[in-house]
Chain A
Amino acid sequence: SAVISQKPSRDICQRGTSLTIQCQVDSQVTMMFWYRQQPGQSLTLIATANQGSEATYESGFVIDKFPISRPNLTFSTLTVSNMSPEDSSIYLCSVAPGGRRYEQYFGPGTRLTVT
Protein backbone atom coordinates (compact mmCIF):
# COMPACT_ATOMS: atom_id res chain seq x y z
CA SER A 1 0.00 0.00 0.00
CA ALA A 2 0.97 3.68 0.04
CA VAL A 3 0.31 6.63 2.32
CA ILE A 4 -0.57 9.79 0.43
CA SER A 5 -0.88 13.32 1.74
CA GLN A 6 -2.26 16.37 -0.02
CA LYS A 7 -1.93 20.06 0.68
CA PRO A 8 -3.99 22.09 1.16
CA SER A 9 -6.91 20.03 2.44
CA ARG A 10 -9.29 22.79 1.45
CA ASP A 11 -9.24 26.33 0.14
CA ILE A 12 -11.56 29.10 -0.90
CA CYS A 13 -10.24 31.11 -3.83
CA GLN A 14 -11.25 34.11 -5.84
CA ARG A 15 -12.24 33.86 -9.47
CA GLY A 16 -9.28 34.41 -11.81
CA THR A 17 -6.60 33.25 -9.38
CA SER A 18 -4.60 30.00 -9.38
CA LEU A 19 -4.09 27.31 -6.75
CA THR A 20 -1.35 24.70 -6.60
CA ILE A 21 -2.15 21.40 -4.91
CA GLN A 22 0.64 19.18 -3.64
CA CYS A 23 0.65 15.40 -3.44
CA GLN A 24 3.30 13.55 -1.43
CA VAL A 25 3.69 9.76 -1.27
CA ASP A 26 5.62 7.84 1.38
CA SER A 27 7.35 5.61 -1.18
CA GLN A 28 8.53 5.78 -4.77
CA VAL A 29 5.76 5.03 -7.22
CA THR A 30 5.77 4.82 -10.98
CA MET A 31 2.20 5.81 -11.64
CA MET A 32 0.50 8.87 -10.24
CA PHE A 33 -2.83 10.30 -11.34
CA TRP A 34 -4.95 13.38 -10.72
CA TYR A 35 -8.74 13.14 -10.55
CA ARG A 36 -11.52 15.66 -10.15
CA GLN A 37 -14.81 15.08 -8.35
CA GLN A 38 -17.39 17.75 -9.02
CA PRO A 39 -20.18 18.22 -6.49
CA GLY A 40 -22.48 15.22 -6.36
CA GLN A 41 -20.62 13.40 -9.10
CA SER A 42 -18.12 10.61 -9.45
CA LEU A 43 -14.43 10.90 -10.19
CA THR A 44 -13.03 11.92 -13.58
CA LEU A 45 -9.41 11.49 -14.54
CA ILE A 46 -7.63 14.76 -15.33
CA ALA A 47 -4.19 13.45 -16.24
CA THR A 48 -1.44 10.95 -15.58
CA ALA A 49 1.58 12.60 -14.01
CA ASN A 50 4.74 11.27 -15.66
CA GLN A 51 8.07 11.59 -13.90
CA GLY A 52 10.54 13.56 -15.97
CA SER A 53 8.18 14.28 -18.84
CA GLU A 54 4.97 16.10 -19.64
CA ALA A 55 1.74 14.83 -18.13
CA THR A 56 -0.74 12.92 -20.26
CA TYR A 57 -4.09 14.72 -20.26
CA GLU A 58 -7.53 13.27 -20.78
CA SER A 59 -9.98 14.65 -23.28
CA GLY A 60 -11.43 17.90 -22.03
CA PHE A 61 -8.44 18.82 -19.86
CA VAL A 62 -5.55 20.97 -21.10
CA ILE A 63 -2.12 21.80 -19.80
CA ASP A 64 -2.72 25.56 -19.76
CA LYS A 65 -5.61 25.12 -17.35
CA PHE A 66 -4.21 22.25 -15.26
CA PRO A 67 -0.40 22.31 -15.39
CA ILE A 68 1.15 19.33 -13.60
CA SER A 69 4.66 18.80 -12.34
CA ARG A 70 6.27 15.50 -11.31
CA PRO A 71 9.87 16.21 -10.32
CA ASN A 72 10.46 12.82 -8.71
CA LEU A 73 8.80 9.51 -7.88
CA THR A 74 7.25 10.67 -4.60
CA PHE A 75 5.85 14.12 -5.37
CA SER A 76 3.54 15.89 -7.81
CA THR A 77 1.67 19.16 -8.05
CA LEU A 78 -1.51 20.12 -9.87
CA THR A 79 -2.26 23.77 -10.53
CA VAL A 80 -5.77 24.96 -11.24
CA SER A 81 -5.28 28.14 -13.26
CA ASN A 82 -7.50 31.15 -13.86
CA MET A 83 -10.20 29.62 -11.70
CA SER A 84 -13.93 30.00 -12.19
CA PRO A 85 -16.79 28.75 -9.98
CA GLU A 86 -17.07 25.70 -12.27
CA ASP A 87 -13.68 24.57 -10.94
CA SER A 88 -15.15 24.08 -7.48
CA SER A 89 -14.50 20.40 -6.86
CA ILE A 90 -12.55 17.91 -4.83
CA TYR A 91 -9.18 17.20 -6.43
CA LEU A 92 -7.59 13.86 -5.60
CA CYS A 93 -4.27 12.34 -6.41
CA SER A 94 -3.80 8.61 -6.57
CA VAL A 95 -0.92 6.21 -7.01
CA ALA A 96 -0.45 2.67 -8.21
CA PRO A 97 2.61 1.48 -6.27
CA GLY A 98 3.55 -1.17 -8.77
CA GLY A 99 3.61 -4.89 -9.11
CA ARG A 100 1.08 -6.69 -11.21
CA ARG A 101 -1.99 -5.80 -9.18
CA TYR A 102 -2.08 -2.09 -10.11
CA GLU A 103 -4.16 -1.43 -7.04
CA GLN A 104 -4.71 2.30 -6.67
CA TYR A 105 -4.60 4.30 -3.49
CA PHE A 106 -5.99 7.78 -3.02
CA GLY A 107 -5.02 10.82 -1.07
CA PRO A 108 -7.52 12.58 1.20
CA GLY A 109 -8.36 15.13 -1.48
CA THR A 110 -8.34 18.92 -1.71
CA ARG A 111 -11.72 20.62 -1.51
CA LEU A 112 -11.65 23.76 -3.65
CA THR A 113 -14.34 26.41 -3.61
CA VAL A 114 -14.12 29.26 -6.11
CA THR A 115 -16.14 32.39 -5.41
Chain B
Amino acid sequence: KQEVTQIPAALSVPEGENLVLNCSFTDSAIYNLQWFRQDPGKGLTSLLLIQSSQREQTSGRLNASLDKSSGRSTLYIAASQPGDSATYLCAVTQDTGRRALTFGSGTRLQVQP
Protein backbone atom coordinates (compact mmCIF):
# COMPACT_ATOMS: atom_id res chain seq x y z
CA LYS B 1 0.00 0.00 0.00
CA GLN B 2 1.37 3.41 -1.01
CA GLU B 3 2.34 5.74 1.80
CA VAL B 4 3.25 9.38 1.28
CA THR B 5 5.18 11.36 3.88
CA GLN B 6 5.87 15.08 3.96
CA ILE B 7 8.58 16.80 5.95
CA PRO B 8 8.51 19.17 7.70
CA ALA B 9 4.96 19.20 9.05
CA ALA B 10 5.19 22.93 9.63
CA LEU B 11 7.57 25.66 8.59
CA SER B 12 7.82 29.35 9.43
CA VAL B 13 10.19 31.56 7.45
CA PRO B 14 10.75 35.28 6.97
CA GLU B 15 9.65 36.84 3.72
CA GLY B 16 12.16 36.55 0.89
CA GLU B 17 13.66 33.22 1.88
CA ASN B 18 14.00 30.34 -0.54
CA LEU B 19 12.62 27.13 0.88
CA VAL B 20 12.28 23.43 0.15
CA LEU B 21 9.41 21.14 1.01
CA ASN B 22 9.98 17.41 0.94
CA CYS B 23 7.76 14.52 -0.07
CA SER B 24 8.58 10.82 -0.05
CA PHE B 25 6.58 7.80 -1.20
CA THR B 26 7.07 4.11 -0.54
CA ASP B 27 5.99 2.58 -3.86
CA SER B 28 7.96 3.92 -6.84
CA ALA B 29 5.45 2.55 -9.38
CA ILE B 30 3.74 5.90 -9.77
CA TYR B 31 2.10 7.43 -12.83
CA ASN B 32 2.52 11.02 -11.71
CA LEU B 33 2.96 13.28 -8.70
CA GLN B 34 1.06 16.47 -7.99
CA TRP B 35 1.72 19.33 -5.62
CA PHE B 36 -1.31 21.19 -4.30
CA ARG B 37 -1.87 24.24 -2.20
CA GLN B 38 -4.71 24.44 0.32
CA ASP B 39 -5.75 27.64 2.06
CA PRO B 40 -7.55 27.29 5.41
CA GLY B 41 -11.05 25.92 5.00
CA LYS B 42 -10.75 25.86 1.21
CA GLY B 43 -10.38 23.34 -1.58
CA LEU B 44 -7.15 22.38 -3.30
CA THR B 45 -5.34 24.30 -6.02
CA SER B 46 -3.10 22.29 -8.31
CA LEU B 47 0.37 23.83 -8.48
CA LEU B 48 2.49 21.41 -10.46
CA LEU B 49 2.17 17.96 -11.96
CA ILE B 50 5.19 15.83 -12.78
CA GLN B 51 4.81 12.75 -14.94
CA SER B 52 6.80 9.70 -13.88
CA SER B 53 9.10 10.13 -16.88
CA GLN B 54 9.95 13.72 -15.96
CA ARG B 55 12.56 15.04 -13.56
CA GLU B 56 11.16 18.48 -12.82
CA GLN B 57 8.50 21.06 -13.57
CA THR B 58 8.57 24.81 -13.09
CA SER B 59 5.86 27.42 -12.72
CA GLY B 60 6.89 30.93 -11.81
CA ARG B 61 8.66 30.85 -8.44
CA LEU B 62 7.87 27.16 -7.96
CA ASN B 63 10.02 24.26 -9.03
CA ALA B 64 9.19 20.63 -8.33
CA SER B 65 11.61 17.78 -8.82
CA LEU B 66 11.01 14.05 -8.90
CA ASP B 67 13.38 11.17 -8.21
CA LYS B 68 11.09 8.26 -8.86
CA SER B 69 13.59 5.50 -8.14
CA SER B 70 14.34 6.83 -4.68
CA GLY B 71 10.71 7.75 -4.00
CA ARG B 72 11.27 11.46 -3.42
CA SER B 73 10.02 14.81 -4.63
CA THR B 74 10.85 18.33 -3.55
CA LEU B 75 8.97 21.58 -4.01
CA TYR B 76 11.23 24.61 -4.14
CA ILE B 77 9.70 28.04 -3.53
CA ALA B 78 11.90 30.98 -4.43
CA ALA B 79 11.71 34.38 -2.77
CA SER B 80 8.81 33.45 -0.50
CA GLN B 81 6.00 35.95 0.11
CA PRO B 82 3.33 36.20 2.82
CA GLY B 83 0.77 35.17 0.19
CA ASP B 84 2.52 31.82 -0.05
CA SER B 85 1.30 30.96 3.45
CA ALA B 86 -0.84 27.84 3.10
CA THR B 87 -0.68 24.08 3.48
CA TYR B 88 1.18 22.31 0.68
CA LEU B 89 0.13 18.78 -0.16
CA CYS B 90 1.94 16.19 -2.21
CA ALA B 91 -0.05 13.38 -3.85
CA VAL B 92 0.75 10.47 -6.15
CA THR B 93 -1.21 8.49 -8.71
CA GLN B 94 -0.31 4.83 -8.98
CA ASP B 95 0.64 3.27 -12.29
CA THR B 96 -2.06 0.63 -11.96
CA GLY B 97 -5.00 2.09 -13.83
CA ARG B 98 -6.51 3.27 -10.57
CA ARG B 99 -6.19 7.02 -10.99
CA ALA B 100 -7.13 8.20 -7.52
CA LEU B 101 -4.59 10.15 -5.49
CA THR B 102 -2.77 9.13 -2.33
CA PHE B 103 -1.96 12.20 -0.27
CA GLY B 104 0.74 13.12 2.17
CA SER B 105 -0.17 14.84 5.42
CA GLY B 106 0.99 18.22 4.20
CA THR B 107 3.43 20.96 5.18
CA ARG B 108 1.89 24.02 6.80
CA LEU B 109 3.89 27.05 5.66
CA GLN B 110 3.83 30.47 7.25
CA VAL B 111 5.79 33.29 5.63
CA GLN B 112 6.35 36.19 8.01
CA PRO B 113 6.26 39.70 6.54
Interface size on A, residues (CB 8 A): 23
Interface of A is mostly: strand
Are A96 and B99 in contact, CB atoms less than 8 angstroms apart? yes
Are A108 and B105 in contact, CB atoms less than 8 angstroms apart? no
Interface of B is mostly: strand
Interface of chain A residues 62 through 109 with chain B (CB within 8 A):
90, 92, 94, 96, 101-109
Q: How far is the CA of A3 from the CA of B106 in the complex (A)?
A: 24
Which residue of the partner chain, among B42, B49, B89, B105, contacts A103 with CB atoms under 8 Å? B49
Give every chain A residue within 8 A of B43 (Cβ-Cβ).
92, 106-109
Are B100 and A43 in contact, CB atoms less than 8 angstroms apart? no
B38 to chain A, nearest CB (A): 9
Are A109 and B105 in contact, CB atoms less than 8 angstroms apart? no
Given contacts A105-B46, A108-B42, A109-B43, contact A42 B103 (CB under 8 A): yes
Give every chain A residue within 8 A of B91 (Cβ-Cβ).
43, 104
Is A50 interfacial (CB-CB < 8 Å)?
Answer: no
Is B32 interfacial (CB-CB < 8 Å)?
Answer: yes
B9 to chain A, nearest CB (A): 11
Is A41 interfacial (CB-CB < 8 Å)?
Answer: yes
Taking Cβ atoms with an 8 Å cutoff, the residues of A that contact B are: 31, 33, 41-45, 48, 58, 90, 92, 94, 96, 101-109, 111
